[in-house]
Amino acid sequence: MTADSPATPRDDNSGGEPAPKYQCIRCTGPFAAVPETSLGRPPGPQGYHLEAVKPGIFWISAGGYDTMFIVTEQGVIVIDAPPALRSMLVPAIQSVTSQPVTHVIYSHSHFDHIGAADIYPADAVRIAQENTATTLQQYQDHRRPLPTITFVEEHTLEVGGSRLELRYRGNIHQPGNIFIYESRQKVLMLVDVIFPGWVPFRNLAVANDVHEYLRAHDLVLTYDFDVMVCGHLTRHGTRADVETQREYVQQLRTASRKALATVRIEEVATRTGTENIWALMNGYFEDAVDAVTRDMLTTPTSDGRLWTERLGGADVWTPHHAFSMIQALRVENPD
Ligand SMILES: [Zn+2]
């Protein structure tokens, strides 16, 4: 790390150069090194990594995106179809079984996770929560065929000795995003909420409702699982990954509350004036984001390390998470 790194703090009271801004919106690096434990399994020569995480349960990752499928005695159950895996999913399934894909589960409606769902047989049973079905009806996208079975709160899928419990537990990312759970094998899948080894995707994974997104961490931990498939990046997750991310987002909330209580708009106005309201507000948010980011990136975490040493991308996206959290605390739920 160099002295100019955005993750390298300097003393505010040094009397010399001003403390660095932590804004990474225009940031081109240098970035903090990605922790070794975050790197996981890179794609193999065929463009993906395929791994049996439990008997009959396969995890497939192409680097940025991942998903899973379950081989049963009566067909294959597959979850999602990220376009990043469009050319790989069917060959990967065929590399471990001659069974056809009979059931497709949509984790949620986002194109980047199910935009290649037309690769599966047209007669496959397709299951989704009703919000997902409603959204897909509006889109009329032939690459995301409509579900044939929908449910409101929960649905149990039993195929060839495999049993999956699907459950909708609120707007934790996007309406319709579901928990997919194999209780006997202790495998949980939930997409776009937990990011094993990394901070969440930008702006708290673009959560519709930041407070519900934070609550999701506690919901995940009510499940008894030892493998979690999360939809992104190069490894699957564990309970420890969820606990780590929960600590990160809870610290983010605490730091954001503190910034909202301490950053003074009157002080910002001395730099921006008060005529240009947007400039004034922008200055206020920049100061608040800086305060939160500084707090997050310089305070030792529960195990004594900094976030940049525990999670990939902490220096890249903490300012964006700070902005989302500050807005959620300001306008959605000020208390
Ligand atoms: Zn999504």
Per residue in 182-226, pLDDT (tens digit) is 999 999 999 999 999 999 999 999 999 999 999 999 999 999 999
* pLDDT digits 0-9 by tens, 120-167: 999 999 999 999 999 999 999 999 999 999 999 999 999 999 999 999
User: What's the pLDDT at 40?
Assistant: 87
What separation in Å is there between the alpha carbon of 252 and the centre of ligand 1? 21
Neighbouring CB atoms inside 10 A of 44's CB total 10
Length of the chain: 335
What separation in Å is there between the alpha carbon of 111 and the centre of ligand 1? 8
- Residue tagged 């995940």 (tokens): 220
Q: Is it the case that residue 20 has pLDDT exceeding 70? A: no
Cα gap 284→199, rounded to integer Å: 25
Q: At 334, is the pLDDT very low, low, confident or very high (cuts 50, 70, 90)?
A: low
What kind and span of H or E run contains 288? Answer: helix 277-298
User: What's the pLDDT at 294?
Assistant: 94
What separation in Å is there between the alpha carbon of 327 and the centre of ligand 1? 20
Segment 261-277 shows an average pLDDT of 97
Cα gap 247→119, rounded to integer Å: 39
What separation in Å is there between the alpha carbon of 110 and the centre of ligand 1? 5
Confirm if 247 and 300 have CB atoms less than 8 A apart.
no
What separation in Å is there between the alpha carbon of 231 and the centre of ligand 1? 9
Q: What is the DSSP string of 203-260?
A: HHHH-S-HHHHHHHHHHHHTS--SEEE-SBSSS-B-HHHHHHHHHHHHHHHHHHHHHH
**Residue of 187, 193, 204, 209 whose CA lies nearest to 252:** 204
Q: Is it the case that residue 114 has pLDDT exceeding 60? A: yes
What separation in Å is there between the alpha carbon of 125 and the centre of ligand 1? 22
Cα gap 314→142, rounded to integer Å: 37
What separation in Å is there between the alpha carbon of 175 and the centre of ligand 1? 10
Cα gap 33→116, rounded to integer Å: 33
What separation in Å is there between the alpha carbon of 268 and the centre of ligand 1? 36
Distant-in-sequence contacts of 184-187, Cβ < 8 A, 24+ apart:
185/54, 185/55, 185/57, 186/54, 186/224, 186/225, 186/226, 186/227, 187/53, 187/54, 187/57, 187/68, 187/225, 187/226, 187/227, 187/228, 187/229
Confirm if 69 and 80 have CB atoms less than 8 A apart.
no
Cα gap 185→325, rounded to integer Å: 35
What separation in Å is there between the alpha carbon of 88 and the centre of ligand 1? 21
Which residues lie below 8 Å from residue 116, measured CB to CB, with a gap of 6+? 81, 82, 83, 85, 86, 89, 143
**Residue of 334, 314, 240, 223 whose CA lies nearest to 33:** 314
What separation in Å is there between the alpha carbon of 328 and the centre of ligand 1? 19
Which residues lie below 8 Å from residue 241, measured CB to CB, with a gap of 6+? 194, 196, 197, 228
**Residue of 239, 247, 237, 241 whose CA lies nearest to 296:** 247
Which residues lie below 8 Å from residue 292, measured CB to CB, with a gap of 6+? 252, 255, 256, 258, 259, 318, 319, 322, 325, 326
User: What's the pLDDT at 8?
Assistant: 40
What separation in Å is there between the alpha carbon of 117 and the centre of ligand 1? 15
Q: Is it the case that residue 14 has pLDDT exceeding 50? A: no
Does a cis peptide bond (omega within 30 degrees of 0) precede residue 30?
A: yes
In CATH, which of 1.10.10.10, 3.60.15.10, 1.10.533.10, 3.30.2010.10 is domain 39-237?
3.60.15.10
What separation in Å is there between the alpha carbon of 278 and the centre of ligand 1? 30
What separation in Å is there between the alpha carbon of 43 and the centre of ligand 1? 22
- What is the pTM for the complete model shown? 0.90
What separation in Å is there between the alpha carbon of 106 and the centre of ligand 1? 11
Burial 126-144 (b: 16+ CB within 10 A, else e): bbbbebbbebbeeeeeeeb
Q: What percent of the chain has pLDDT over 90?
A: 86
What separation in Å is there between the alpha carbon of 112 and the centre of ligand 1? 7
**Per-domain boundaries in the chain:** 1-31+242-335, 39-237
User: What's the pLDDT at 27?
Assistant: 63
